[in-house]
Amino acid sequence: MKKLRLNKFLSNSGVASRRKCDEIIASGKVTVNGKVVTEIGSQINEKKDKVMVEGKAVCLPSSFVYIKLNKPKGYACTASDEKGRKTIYDLVDCEERLFSIGRLDYNTEGLIILTNDGDFANKVSHPRYDVEKEYRVTIEGKIKESELAVLRKGVVVDSQKMPPAKVKLLSQDENVSKISVVINEGQNRQVRRMFEAIGREIKLLKRVRIGSVRLGGLSRGQWRDLTEDELNLLVGKK
Ligand code: URA
């Protein structure tokens, strides 16, 4: 009977990406046949062993699902929000247990990719694959060329230097500036913190692209399956 590493089994079952599953296992939330297992590399027999995460049974999906969603402002990216707020799972009608690849803040809108395929999620979110994320930032007033230069070079946030970003001014008038920001990492509130560090508050933040997948014509709250082409371009031929 084929055995599977516990972290791979969990990510293949749509619990979370592989790295996140490592954290979940280490935190003692996973039981195998009723016993807590904290070793990431434990082997399980997917046919015989009963695996549970926080008391909920986990099993491998019958098929993989890949979805893109235009997350509106005012939705959390967690499965159940501790403050009882609306979540992205209220928007997507799917039987499978899905997780988002990277998150967006409650007040950020735009492109989210959801899947139950842990290997795929691992590739898209792993720094080794260097997948770009593109944001549209709207701020009040005119932004100076010197401020854009600081963002490009890598601004210091909480005594930590942010990696350089691709930053382009899209349009501006006396009231509003619109800026494109492309980053490869996904640190917590990274774009907002970059702008805070130059003393600018973001009025609107929207993710418009992950790798080669664009938000396209999806309206707020709308979702659809990724096309075969979008999948292939994102992680190479599957
Ligand atoms: N950067 C942010 O500040 N927020 C997001 O949601 C994503 C990137």
Give pLDDT tens digits for 63-73: 889 999 999 99
Q: Which of 9-23, 138-152, 161-175, 198-212 has the lowest mean pLDDT?
A: 9-23
Dump pLDDT digits (tens) for 49-96. Answer: 999 999 989 888 878 899 999 999 999 998 877 888 999 999 998 878
Rg (CA), the chain: 20
Instruction: Indicate whether 214 pLDDT > 80.
Output: yes
Nearest to 91 by CA among 106, 104, 76: 76
CB 137 within 8 A of CB 191: yes
Give the pLDDT of residue 1.
Answer: 55
Q: Examine the domain organization and report whether 71 and 173 are in the same domain.
A: no
Pair 183, 206 in one domain: yes
For ligand 1, residues with CB inside 6 Å are 104-105, 108, 189-192, 205
Q: Read off the pLDDT band of 234 (50, 70, 90).
A: confident
Q: Please tell me whether residues 53 and 109 are part of one structural domain.
A: no
CA of 133 to the centre of ligand 1 (A): 10
Ligand 1 centroid distance, CA of 42 (Å): 34
Question: pTM of the prediction?
Answer: 0.83
Structural domain containing residue 40? 4-58
Instruction: Identify the CATH number of the domain in which residue 45 sits.
Output: 3.10.290.10
CATH number, domain of 91, equals 3.30.70.580
Which residues are marked as active site?
Answer: 105
Mean pLDDT over each residue of the chain, to the nearest integer: 91
Ligand 1 atom 4, closest CA: 189
Q: Which of 106, 125, 131, 190 to mutate to test the pocket of ligand 1 (most atoms within 8 A of CB)?
A: 190
CA angle 230, 91, 67 (to 5 degrees): 15
Q: Which atom of ligand 1 is nearest to the CA of 107?
A: 6
Total domains present in the chain: 3
Are residues 191 and 136 located together in one domain of the fold?
yes
Q: Kindly give the distance from the C-alpha atom of residue 207 to the centroid of ligand 1, in angstroms, as a whole number.
A: 8
Is pLDDT at 237 greater than 80 in this prediction?
A: no
Determine which residue's CA is closest to atom 5 belonging to ligand 1. 104
CATH number at residue 148: 3.30.70.1560
Using alpha carbons, select from 102, 133, 110, 91 the residue that is nearest to residue 204: 110
CA-to-CA distance for 136 and 60, rounded, in angstroms? 37
Which residue has its alpha carbon closest to ligand 1 atom 2? 189
Q: 204 and 137: one domain?
A: yes
Q: Which residue has the higher pLDDT, 114 or 46?
A: 114
Q: Using 50, 70 and 90 to split pLDDT, how confident is the model at 238?
A: very low
Q: Which atom of ligand 1 is nearest to the CA of 192?
A: 3
